[in-house]
Amino acid sequence: MALPWLQRVELVVFATAFLCGAVAAAALTRTQVRLRDGAGRPIGLRIALAISAIAIFLVLVSACILRFGTSSLCKSILSLNITSCSDAQKTPWIPPGTTLQFYSNLHNAETSSWVNLVLWCVVLVLQVVQWKSEATPYRPLERGDPVWSSETDALVGSRLSHS
């Protein structure tokens, strides 16, 4: 069965949006790496943190809209003496074909948006951990540091004098 031209256009737009998201993620990663290589290390990570926070907010809004929209639709359908929304998509509607898997599609979209939100939160946590670890960079001990002792000389040796 061939898809109507509007659905073909819709699929092309979805594919384009997906590819744009992938390109944006790749570009952000490349920018973050380039900015963190030089003197602008914290700036790149701050930009990534801001973008992740904005993405989390937008995904949260879309997930809530899907959740409350699906719930509202189901309540209106249940008021028609239908037992459940999943049963309603099996009911013949007028015009025919207008309800093709409406509940399954809405449920899948809602579930994927919540999973997407969790994944963005994981990304944000990883970025915060990365940011915190860069705030106090590791510096190896050297002779003259307050925690350097004669035991350290015995373990490491006195040839590591960099001062």
The model's pTM: 0.59
Residues 84-108: b if buried by 16+ CB within 10 A, e if exposed: ebeebbeeeeeeeeebeebbeebbe
- For residues 163 and 140, the answer to whether their CB atoms sit within 8 Å is no
Q: What is the pLDDT, as a whole number, of residue 67?
A: 92
Highest mean pLDDT: which range of 8-17, 75-84, 142-151: 75-84
Q: What tens digit of pLDDT does each residue of 22-46 get?
A: 666 666 666 555 556 555 456 777 8
What residues contact 34, with CB distance under 8 A and at least 6 apart?
44
Q: What tens digit of pLDDT does each residue of 111-155 get?
A: 888 888 888 888 888 888 887 776 655 555 566 666 666 665 666
Distances from the Cα of 125 to the Cαs of 21, 46, 47, 67, 120, in angstroms? 20, 13, 14, 25, 9
